[in-house]
Structure 1
Amino acid sequence: MKNIIVLCLLSILLFGCSNEDQDEKGKFDIVGKVTGIQTDSHCILVEDKDGGKYVVTLPENDATSNYKTGDHVVIWTAAINTSSPAKAEALHIEKENVAE
């Protein structure tokens, strides 16, 4: 009987401690080109390959001076507000090296 209780507790611990965020690691939300920079609001304007437009607020540790119009970027966000244009707060941004 003790073995069954111990087995149940171990099963609960193993499955209860799984981290679903690991499935999201490495996924991104927006891939596109910087089409504008709003220094006063700490944002960049991004257009994806399908013509979707986004106003992206930069993370606190980032600066608009790190970007210029035409840069290709990959952006991870917490959420995207689907207004027009869509608005997002970036968690992380990386520049892509794209040959045009």
Structure 2
Amino acid sequence: MKIGKKDWIFIGIIAAVFIIFYVISGEEKTKRVPLDDTHKPSYELFKKTGSKMEADKGCPACHNTNPGGVPFPAKHPVKPKDGPMRCLFCHKLKLAGVQ
């Protein structure tokens, strides 16, 4: 069986897709939610409800731009004024099997 020109093009496209996926699948860059006393209520709420959105509701109490709040880094993509905080959309909990 001879491999024709169209077959090589198809093989090349598939190889390019795999190479692109490999290149962009680098190291995880977002920080995980610390497993400390400050964040313990969020972990407990997630264990109880299984809902990341419910656990997110406690974040604005500390992570805000108000005086005394934990400031966001300058390059942080979403600020509270942009809408509801969805911290656990990017930041992962330090629990086994929780993504």
For the aligned pair, the TM-score class normalised by the smaller chain equals 0.3 to 0.5
Which one has the bigger strand percentage?
1
TM-score between the two structures when normalised by the length of structure 1 = 0.35
For the pair shown, the structure with the greater C-alpha radius of gyration is 2
Which one has the bigger helix percentage?
2
TM-score between the two structures when normalised by the length of structure 2 = 0.35
Q: Which has the higher contact order (CA 8 A, sep 6+)?
A: 2
